[in-house]
Amino acid sequence: MPTREQLIDRARSARAAGRHAEAAAAWRDAIDLCPDEAVLYHNWAAALGDLRRHAEAAAALEAGFTKGLNAYQSYLVLARAKAGLLRHEEATRAYRRYLDSAPADVTAQIEHAQLLWMQTADAGHALETLDAAIRRLPAPVDLVIARCRLVGEMGDRDAAYAGLRAAMARYGPTAEALGAASAAALACGNAAAAVDHAVQLVAIHPSDAAALVAHAMALIAVGSYASAQETIDRLRTVNPLNQYHVALQGDLWRLTGSERQRDLYDYDRLIFRAPLEAPPGWPSAEAYVDDLVEALQTRHEYQAEPFFQSVRHGSQISSLASFDDPALQGFSAAVTPGARRFAEHLSSMSGPAGARSSGKANLVGAWSVQLPAGGFHADHIHPEGWISSACHLLCSNPGEGERSGWLKFGQSALPTSPQLTAEYFVEPSPGVVVFFPSYFWHGTVPTNGGSRLTVAADFVPT
């Protein structure tokens, strides 16, 4: 049996390498050796949280508290676990207890504000704790920048950009502020200002991928195509298959009329449809879809969308794997066969999607979105995926000649001139999954009635 010290070293090394299951197992073994060492329960819970095993993480912390655990950091782990379980009041209390001791933690402040915003759609309420921290701290520049970004996410883009300009005038043009200002300027349609901010950002971090992406986006928006191509070449030399880099290259090829964009966006060959299959325990796919809809609808209780996501005027459940519900746990078995057939199809193709294909696909995340009338997805890509998908469960009923709730592909999120509009549409069909490369710009036509319920998922090569 390894010693306590060996198990701790194993757990820390595994977590640093992203092997979260191995880390959780090592912390569990350490607890078996030293059951009264309270801090081990904190570390075990954090590893379980990395796996989105929120109920187990919360239970681990409760066990730790009985052993005398009282570190303020444990309340952040607890808050995330409770939020993942949709226990909103408990999550809010834990966030506030943590933030009382760590008011400058930008990530936690954003998470807490988002939880309040999704529950209430009340911007003032969502920002109360963040605003109190800004008043309390002597140099709250990072929190001020975060607040501006959240104001933009809650709908006031002009105020967000004005706030960022004021923050830079007061605190100086930090890299964080310049990146946020470039994005905010683009959102306000001020591409020239976005370029200015991005140029300053690249001067600070000349090799940083995020800075170069901001620069490329602004250059494309302002029409400086030759300079944008130079920046994209730098990005793709280092990481040619990065989904965001590919998407920006595609935008540039479309704007300059390059024939190369035809293979990149061969929609007929690169969009694949497959029905959900019945997971073990269900007599048919139809019966499974009925149970999946019921399981999701009982959990879609938020009043507003999360920050920094594509949902507009709807709600999102961030991870199906977080819930100990048979229908939600069964989604992987239901969707993966179709993804693997698409992966096999991609393995015979050239281009960024085919270049990554091993012929197999591994599910890395699945989440659900519910859109009421007027709700939609803004155009976006999935930078962490390779294959992305949208499984339609409930679909709105469009009028004749309308495309209410349809998927649309090809409309760039960048404010280009001319605007790159949608090139391909897919009509939703209940129980059918639409698979596509993660670099595809995609969004939805706003719903004009009823409710649109989906599960989105990302896959990477096995």
Determine, yes or no, domain membership for 84.
Answer: yes
Domains in the chain, number: 2
Half-sphere exposure of 116 (CA within 13 A, CB side): 19
Residue 344: is it exposed, middle or buried by C-beta count within 10 angstroms (0-12/13-18/19+)?
middle
Asked if residue 33 is part of any domain, the answer here is yes
For residues 289 and 201, membership in a common domain is answered with no
Tell me: do 186 and 53 sit in the same domain: yes
The reply to whether 232 falls in a domain is no
Q: Which residue type is seen at 196?
A: D
Residue 78 sits in a domain whose CATH number is: 1.25.40.10
Q: Does the residue 220 lie in any domain?
A: no
DSSP string, 160-172: HHHHHHHHHHHH-
Whole-number pLDDT of residue 91 = 98
Residue 371 sits in a domain of what CATH number?
A: 2.60.120.620
Q: Report yes or no on whether pTM surpasses 0.85.
A: yes
The pair of three-digit structure tokens given for residue 186, joined into one six-digit string: 């683009």
**Chain segment 134-164, per-residue pLDDT in tens:** 999 999 999 999 999 999 999 999 999 999 9
Same domain? 177 vs 295: no
Q: pLDDT digits over 303-359, tens only? A: 999 999 999 999 999 899 889 899 999 999 999 999 999 999 999 888 899 988 888
Do 191 and 304 fall within a single domain? no
Which of 160, 183, 205 terminates a domain? The answer is 205
pLDDT in tens, 406-448: 999 999 999 999 999 999 999 999 999 999 999 999 999 999 8
| Dist CA 310 CA 444 (whole Å) | 10
The answer on 285 and 183 residing in a single domain is no
In angstroms, the CA 188 to CA 203 distance is 23
| Residue at 262 is within a domain | no
Lowest mean pLDDT among 44-48, 83-87, 353-357, 399-403: 399-403
Which of the listed residues 152, 182, 205 is the one where a domain comes to its end?
Answer: 205
Q: Which domain holds residue 361?
A: 267-461
Mean pLDDT value across residues 273-295: 97
Q: Is residue 248 part of a domain?
A: no
Please report the DSSP string for 200-243 in residue order: HHHHHSTT-HHHHHHHHHHHHHHT-HHHHHHHHHHHHHH-TT-H
Cα 162 to Cα 165, 179, 228, 330, 452: the distances in Å are: 5, 14, 26, 47, 35
